[in-house]
């Protein structure tokens, strides 16, 4: 059998009973059985589990999701321990070791910490452990949060180079609009490219339950990150965890998002998905063409406008005149320096600044194309006329 790396995400709306907030024991037990079975077949399995806030609320008798950050962080600290206790008891009955991995966005933004997280996951998987991942809600600050576990699971799938990301939720698949409020909503079974959803005018609505966050919007964003890293993504029901095995055997259950052509360069994947850009550079048509079609570095001459304040080595978004992001990269100059040298030739830089750091503003090794721009580059690469 083809042994693969699987990331499985389950949301609060599936882990808890909506009316009481108590744990949905039967769902969790079925999930534990399935993941243990997949693990025993030899697959490498990572579970991304929400539920810390929901379970913490139930434990403390709170009837709704906390509104203040401090209360949410305190409640998550209560719930995370309870949740892991339940997982450990259930997995231990099946002789399956687990580990708790709590991450904040900053753990992935910084390259050295990203590599460290990668190494830790590899060791855990090598040891046959199922890592159970959640956002470290108790310490995460607003600016450095994943915000939702759909995004976190996609970043983990990209980090560990998973083959599959399963987003398990309380609906069986994506529909043209929220099936809870629209009985005529049409099921969507396969998404080859995310642009199709725009054409179909899919409505992603809010969360269906009081406890989930983000509804389908965050799942589609997760699919964008994961498929962009070459990870096949499936939205499927948490009521039938056994379906994961059927999906792996080729059954068309849930909504499948086809993996896109992705870079095999781990550093570029980090740049595309994990870093948070601190600014934006608007480029002229020549620079956009050189980057998207020619795989060239960015020179100061092609920069029209500089937005935001950033230092050398920070990440920025590169946009065309209309503001559409075409790439991301790590700059060799600060925003203040770029404001002075934008639109100018590289050999003018020493005269303007009094020094030169590099001929390029972003070297092509530190540059990664975004979404459809990378598809265009792939197409152009295979066209010998270009
Ligand atoms: N287009 C759509 N297709 C399917 N479900 C949708 C759609 N738009 C909104 N939803 C809602 O998204 C909910 C799942 O999201 P959420 O409650 O955040 O779950 P989770 O806790 O699993 O992350 C569903 O219960 C459904 O009501
Ligand atoms: N980290 C939070 C989960 C946030 C989240 O994304 O929740 P959900 O939409 O239910 O997957 C918690 O454990 O409560």
Looking at all shown ligands, the one closest to residue 177's CA atom is 1
Residue 129 DSSP class: -
Residue nearest to atom 3 of ligand 2 (CA): 50
Q: What is the 3-state secondary structure (H, E, C) of 194-227?
A: CHHHHHCCCCCCCCCCCCCCCHHHHHHHHHHHHH
Confirm or reject: Cβ of 254 under 6 Å from ligand 1: no
Q: Determine contact, residues 159/108, Cβ cutoff 8 Å.
A: yes
Confirm or reject: Cβ of 15 under 6 Å from ligand 2: no
pLDDT number for residue 206: 66
pLDDT number for residue 197: 81
pLDDT tens track for 245-303: 999 999 999 999 999 877 778 888 899 988 899 999 999 999 999 999 989 999 999 99
pLDDT number for residue 140: 79
Token look-up 């295979």 returns 382
Burial class of residue 82, CB neighbours in 10 A (0-12, 13-18, 19+): middle
Distance 380 CA to ligand 2 centre (A): 40
pLDDT number for residue 365: 92
Residue spans of alpha helices (H) in the chain: 12-15, 25-40, 52-60, 69-93, 105-109, 111-126, 149-159, 195-199, 215-228, 243-248, 266-273, 285-292, 335-341, 349-353, 371-381
Q: Determine contact, residues 72/137, Cβ cutoff 8 Å.
A: yes
Per-residue b/e over 202-241, b at no fewer than 16 CB within 10 Å? bbbbebbbebbbbbbbbbbbbbbbbbbbbbbbbbbbbbbb
Confirm or reject: Cβ of 314 under 6 Å from ligand 2: no
Distance 178 CA to ligand 1 centre (A): 7
For the residues of 157-180, what is the DSSP string, one character each?
Answer: HHHTT-SEEEEEESSSS-BSS-TT
Other Cβ atoms less than 10 A from the Cβ of 91: the count is 21
> Which has more confidence, 306 or 199?
306
Confirm or reject: Cβ of 221 under 6 Å from ligand 2: no
Q: Determine contact, residues 260/230, Cβ cutoff 8 Å.
A: yes
Strands of 5-10's sheet in order across: 98-103, 130-135, 44-49, 5-10, 164-169, 232-237, 255-257, 190-191
Other Cβ atoms less than 10 A from the Cβ of 170: the count is 22
> Which has more confidence, 18 or 283?
283
Distance 245 CA to ligand 2 centre (A): 25
Can you name the residues that pair with 135 across neighbouring β-strands?
A: 103
pLDDT tens track for 166-197: 999 999 999 999 998 889 999 999 999 988 88
Confidence of residue 345 (pLDDT cuts 50, 70, 90): very high
Residue 385 DSSP class: T
Residue nearest to atom 12 of ligand 1 (CA): 215
pLDDT number for residue 376: 37
Confirm or reject: Cβ of 372 under 6 Å from ligand 1: no
CA distance readout (Å), 355 to 129, 337, 348, 352: 52, 11, 10, 8
How far apart CA 122 and CA 255 sit, in angstroms, is 29
pLDDT tens track for 84-139: 999 999 999 999 999 999 999 999 998 999 999 999 999 999 999 999 999 999 88
Strand residue runs (E) in 251-340: 255-257, 279-283, 303-307, 315-319, 325-330
For residue 211, give both structure tokens: 């406890």
Confidence of residue 64 (pLDDT cuts 50, 70, 90): confident
Mean pLDDT of 202-220: 75
């Amino acid at each position: 059998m083809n042994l693969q790396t699987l990331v499985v995400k389950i949301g609060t709306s599936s882990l808890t009973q909506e009316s009481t907030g108590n744990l949905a024991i039967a769902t969790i037990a079925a999930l534990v059985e399935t993941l243990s079975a997949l693990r025993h077949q030899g697959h490498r399995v990572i579970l991304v589990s929400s539920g810390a806030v929901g379970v913490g609320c139930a434990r403390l008798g709170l009837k709704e999701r906390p509104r203040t950050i401090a209360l949410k962080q305190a409640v998550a600290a209560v719930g995370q321990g309870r949740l892991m206790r339940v997982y450990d008891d259930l997995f231990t009955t099946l002789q399956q070791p687990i580990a708790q991995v709590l991450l904040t966005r900053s753990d992935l933004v910084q390259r050295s910490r990203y590599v460290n997280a990668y190494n830790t996951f590899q060791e855990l998987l090598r040891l046959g452990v199922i890592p159970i991942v959640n956002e470290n809600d108790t310490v995460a600050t607003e600016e450095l949060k994943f915000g939702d576990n759909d995004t976190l699971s996609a970043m983990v799938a990209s980090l560990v180079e998973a083959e599959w990301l399963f987003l398990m939720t309380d609906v069986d698949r994506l529909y043209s609009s929220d099936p809870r409020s629209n009985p005529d909503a049409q099921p969507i079974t396969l998404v080859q490219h995310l642009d199709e959803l725009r054409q179909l005018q899919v409505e992603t609505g809010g969360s269906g339950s009081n406890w989930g966050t983000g509804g389908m919007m965050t799942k589609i964003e997760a699919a964008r990150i994961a498929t962009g890293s070459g990870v096949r993504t499936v939205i499927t029901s948490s009521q039938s965890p056994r379906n994961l095995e059927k999906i792996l055997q080729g059954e068309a259950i849930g909504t499948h998002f086809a993996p896109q052509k992705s870079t095999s360069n781990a550093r570029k994947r980090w740049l595309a998905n994990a870093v948070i850009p601190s600014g934006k550079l608007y480029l002229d048509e020549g620079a956009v063409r050189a980057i998207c079609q020619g795989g060239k570095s960015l020179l100061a001459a092609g920069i029209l406008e500089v937005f935001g304040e950033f230092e050398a080595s920070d990440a920025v978004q590169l946009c065309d005149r209309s503001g559409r992001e075409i790439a991301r990269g790590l700059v060799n100059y600060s925003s203040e320096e770029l404001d002075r040298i934008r639109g100018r030739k590289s050999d003018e830089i020493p005269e303007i600044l009094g020094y030169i750091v590099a001929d390029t503003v972003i070297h092509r090794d530190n540059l990664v194309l975004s979404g459809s721009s990378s598809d265009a580059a792939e197409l152009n690469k295979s066209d010998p006329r270009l």
